[in-house]
Amino acid sequence: NKITQGDVIHCKGVEVFSIKNTGNDDMSLFVVLAPNPSAVYSKGI
């Protein structure tokens, strides 16, 4: 399946995935880890 702008992907359990930008524009990817597995994931970057 092809992921397109505006799609929402839900992963459950232990998952490994990668995203490749096949377009010409910059891409943003927003990820939510819930419940928070560790405080290290809550640090601001």
21 and 27 Cβ atoms separated by less than 8 Å: yes
Q: What is the mean pLDDT of residues 31-36?
A: 78
Q: Which of 43, 1, 9, 4 is nearest to 23 (CA)?
A: 4
Listed range (17-21, 26-30, 38-42) with the worst mean pLDDT? 38-42
* pLDDT of res. 26: 94
28 and 19 Cβ atoms separated by less than 8 Å: no
29 and 19 Cβ atoms separated by less than 8 Å: yes
DSSP structure class, residue 6: T
More confident residue, 24 or 32: 24
* pLDDT of res. 37: 73
pLDDT band, very low/low/confident/very high, at 41 (cuts 50, 70, 90): confident
Rounded CA gap, 3 and 6, in Å? Answer: 9
- Give the E-state strand segments of the chain in sequence order: none
- The tally of domains found in the chain comes to 1
Per the structure, the complete domain to which residue 38 belongs is given by 1-45
